[in-house]
Amino acid sequence: MNILKKAFLPLVLAAASLLCAGQAQAALITIETDKQQYQVGGKVTAFLKLSDASSLISGFFLAMQYQNSALALVNWGHGNSFDDGFGSYQYSAHDAVNGSLALEDYADWAADQAVLAALQLGGFTLAKIEFTALAAGQFSLNLDPSYFGLLTFSGDLLQPEWLDASFDVIAKPSAVPATPAVALMIGGLLLLGAQRRQQQKSEVKAVAN
């Protein structure tokens, strides 16, 4: 019996490890932008979305990184998929110097899991973030690999896969300066005057002949 236990226990532990690893890899955090190309001065809107979670998620923590020399963070907000109607525990911290935004959101321990399951069905949005594009170039939004994870109601900590976002910012097209109305009017008067002088010269020549 002891021999069977010794042989069987490692198999059980190995299977459990594989199961946990599979759960961790199943979930995917995707950073999406509303467009692939923007103009300098335009608004860049990004969404953090979670999909393919095999367990009901009770919360998350992460830090999104961006190029602060080319993007100015102007607004952000959490989703509502951890709120069963009585609120959730949300946290955010913006580090403008290093171009990082930390976000956390946790459901209450007594939250109605049936409500949360309906909110999370098929994937859901973790947060919405808005920037102003300051310079032209190709830029990306990504997660800090040392600070992100998901929590489940069973107490598991999952580290999902994630996909970053890349996009282009182009310079505004050069505007062609409009000709002032006064200049147009003066040009027309000069042209009309030249035509009249030419007509008068023609009439004088005709009389002389």
The fraction of the chain above a pLDDT of 70, given in percent, is: 71
Lowest mean pLDDT: which of 22-31, 53-62, 101-110, 114-123?
22-31
| Lowest mean per-residue pLDDT among 70-74, 105-109, 113-117, 180-184 | 180-184
pLDDT, tens digit, 9 for 90 and up, residues 180-204: 655 566 666 666 666 666 666 665 5
Task: Sketch the domain layout of the chain as residue ranges.
Answer: 27-170
Give the model's confidence band at 94: pLDDT under 50 very low, under 70 low, under 90 confident, else very high: very high
Domain at 27-170, CATH from 3.50.50.60, 3.30.70.20, 1.20.140.160, 2.60.40.680: 2.60.40.680
Euclidean distance between CA atoms 53 and 184, whole angstroms? 67
For residue range 20-79, what is the model confidence (pLDDT) as tens digits? 444 445 799 999 999 999 999 999 999 999 999 999 999 999 999 999 999 999 999 999
Q: Can you read off the two tokens belonging to residue 138?
A: 């190709």
pLDDT at 142: 98
Tally of residues, the chain: 209
Residue 4 in this model has a pLDDT that exceeds 50 = no
The 3-class SS string of the chain reads CHHHHHHHHHHHHHHHHHHHHHHHHHCEEEEEECCCEEECCCEEEEEEEEECCCCCEEEEEEEEECCCCCEEEEEEEECCCCCCCCCCEEEEEEECCCCEEEEEEECCCCCCHHHHHHHHCCCEEEEEEEEEECCCEEEEEEEEEEEEEEEECCCCEECCEEECEEEEEECCCCCCCCCCHHHHHHHHHHHHHHHHHHHHHHHHHHHHC
Kindly tell me if the per-residue pLDDT of 152 is higher than 70: yes
Q: What is the pTM of this model?
A: 0.72
Q: Which two tokens stand for residue 182?
A: 């006064």
Check residues 26 and 104 and name the one with the higher pLDDT.
Answer: 104
What integer is the mean pLDDT of 107-131?
A: 98
